[in-house]
Amino acid sequence: MTEKTANQGGKTRRLSREIFGIFAISLIFSIILYLFLSLFGAAAVQAFLALWGITPDETDLYRINGSVFGISLALTAGFFILLFLILLGERLAYIRTIIQGIEALSEGKLEHRLPIEGNNELTRLAEAVNYLAAEEEAIKAEEKRLSEDREELIRTLSHDIRTPLTALIGYTELFRTKESPSKEELSDYLLLVHRKANEIREISDILLDGSKRSLEYFDSARLLMTMLAEEFEEALQKEFSLKVDLSGCTDFPASLDVQELRRIFDNLITNVQKYADPQSPVCLSIQKSAKGIVIRETNAIAERQSGQSGYRMGLNSIRRIAQSYGGDVRIENDGKQFAITVTLSDV
Amino acid sequence: MLNSLDLLVIVFMGLIALTLFSLALLFFLRNKKAKKVFFYITIALAVYLSTVAFRISSGLFFVQTVLSFVTAGAAIAALVLERVSKGNEKLFLLARIISSCALILALLNAIL
């Protein structure tokens, strides 16, 4: 048990022994009282009488001695009962404290703890109750945390599904209205639809089956980064002027989950489309450093604000992925300029 | 029908019973507030019995008269020690021991 015990090193005293001890103490004090009262009572009264010059006759003396005996016995009995009940009551009041504590815990006040008193079976009971309450509190906190994590995961994955779905709808709409598309355009369109549909399916699989990473080993991760940067450019070049810098991205081997990286870039693309100012250039740089892979995107913030919730969910999604690589995300936002730095360490 | 002698006996025996009762609870109760209450009762009893002993012996028995002053002084010293202790358990225990000794001596001085 982790709770503090009242007597760390000693043996637990039995409650019955404590009660017997109380009985013995009450009895001893009662016997002392009786001896005092019966042996000295009469003598004291006689001393008082002598001092005040009163001489009682034989009848009075007999009465005095009888009174002393009777009163001694009555007082001793009353004294014993009172002392025993008070000391016993104090020990057993702890049971009431334990009951009140258990009632508080059963009402859901799991932070409540029983005071630890004495060193008997009741103390062990109180310690056990405290231990169970602490365990229950920890379990509830863990359940709450898992539930919040799950909800957060569902929110971010739902948000991540929207990006490929929006691209799919956009391209479908484009080709629906296009007159006589060429064979090449049709082939590109079908490839894009196939890729986006696969992305949606993989994200749905995570939602249904839980997160399963599929790391792939790349001899040259630079090629993958170049491909993702090109997809970033392709998605944004119509609306924004772009500066992509891959000079710091040297050739390096790495184990990466392509879908997760795609989700990072999809979220970056979505945030630029929603919040970036088209009048200013959008900069993307990918570097390989001692920290790992560092992806940095900067843009000016458009004056119109189209809702905070999507922005936060997208960044939360990026953060979760970065943390799964042992890395993190740093945001710089002064209201005019936005910068996000994603570090992937364990690659 | 009780006369004044009977009442005297009863009062005297009541004092002895109260003395032992206070002493028992002073040391065997666990509740700190209750301990303090019985501590003050012990002090009051010790001072009262010292006064009784003084009234009985003054002008007659010099040693008993001095002893009554000593027991009263000890009781007051125990009270001062308790005030000064401010939660210090060892000092409070010492105060209780001094007050108990003062009470027992005052009782014996009064009845013997």
| pLDDT tens digits, A52-109 | 787 878 887 788 778 778 878 888 899 899 999 999 998 888 899 999 999 999 998 8
pLDDT band at B2 (very low <50, low <70, confident <90, very high): low
- Structure-token match 């009041």, residue found: A93
Per-residue pLDDT at A6:
44
Domain ranges (residues) in chain A: 3-109, 152-209, 216-344
Q: What is the 3-state secondary structure (H, E, C) of chain B?
A: CCCHHHHHHHHHHHHHHHHHHHHHHHHHCCCHHHHHHHHHHHHHHHHHHHHHHHHHHCCCCHHHHHHHHHHHHHHHHHHHHHHHHCCCHHHHHHHHHHHHHHHHHHHHHHHC
User: Mean pLDDT of all residues in chain A?
Assistant: 84
Q: What is the pLDDT of residues A2-61, one digit of tens each?
A: 444 444 445 677 888 889 999 999 999 999 888 877 876 667 667 667 777 878 788 877
Q: What is the pLDDT of residues A299-309, one digit of tens each?
A: 998 876 544 55
pLDDT of residue A154 exceeding 90, the answer is: no
Per-residue pLDDT at A142:
93
CB spacing of A26 vs B21 below 8 angstroms: no
In which region does residue A292 sit, left (phi positive, over 0), alpha (psi from -120 to 50) or beta (all else)?
A: left
- Structure-token match 């710091």, residue found: A248
A50 touches chain B (CB under 8 A): no
**A70 vs B15: CA distance, rounded Å:** 16
**A207 vs A215: CA distance, rounded Å:** 18
Per-residue pLDDT at A334:
86
SS3 of residue A279 by DSSP: coil
| Structure tokens, B68 | 């009554």
User: Mean pLDDT of all residues in chain B?
Assistant: 87
CB-based burial label for A263 (10 Å; 0-12, 13-18, 19+) = buried
CB spacing of B21 vs A83 below 8 angstroms: yes
Q: Which CATH class is domain A152-209?
A: mainly alpha
Which residue in the set A32, A44, A86 is minimally distant from B25, CB to CB?
A86
Check: CB of residue A192 under 8 Å from CB of residue A245.
no
Q: What is the pLDDT of residues A221-231, one digit of tens each?
A: 888 899 999 98
CB atoms within 10 A of CB A166: 14
- Across the range B33-50, mean pLDDT stands at 93
A26 touches chain B (CB under 8 A): yes
Whether the predicted interface score ipTM is above 0.90: no
User: What CATH number was assigned to the domain covering residues A216-344?
Assistant: 3.30.565.10
Q: What value does the CA radius of gyration of chain B take, rounded to a whole number of Å? A: 15
Per-residue pLDDT at A303:
76
Contacts of B20 in chain A (CB under 8 A): 29, 32-33, 36, 79
**B38 vs B22: CA distance, rounded Å:** 6
CA of A80: which chain B residue's CA is closest? B21
| Structure tokens, A283 | 């900069």
Task: Please state at what angle helix A258-275 crosses helix A121-177, rounded to 10 degrees.
Answer: 70
What are residue A329's DSSP bridge partners? A342
Per-residue pLDDT at A7:
45
Distance from CA of A343 to the nearest CA of B (A): 58
Q: How many residues does chain A have?
A: 347
φ, ψ at A55 (rounded to 5°): -115, 105
Which residue in the set B12, B13, B24 is minimally distant from A29, CB to CB?
B24
Those residues with Cβ within 8 angstroms of residue A269's Cβ, 6 or more apart along the chain or in another chain = A163, A232, A235, A236
How many Cα atoms sit within 13 Å of A40 on the Cβ side? 18
SS3 of residue A330 by DSSP: strand
**Got the DSSP string for A9-68?**
SSPPPPHHHHHHHHHHHHHHHHHHHHHIIIIIHHHHHHHHHHHTT----HHHHHHHHHHH
Check: CB of residue A133 under 8 Å from CB of residue A112.
yes
- Structure-token match 């014993």, residue found: A80
B29 touches chain A (CB under 8 A): yes
Check: CB of residue A163 under 8 Å from CB of residue A266.
yes
B31 touches chain A (CB under 8 A): yes
B8 touches chain A (CB under 8 A): yes
B17 touches chain A (CB under 8 A): yes
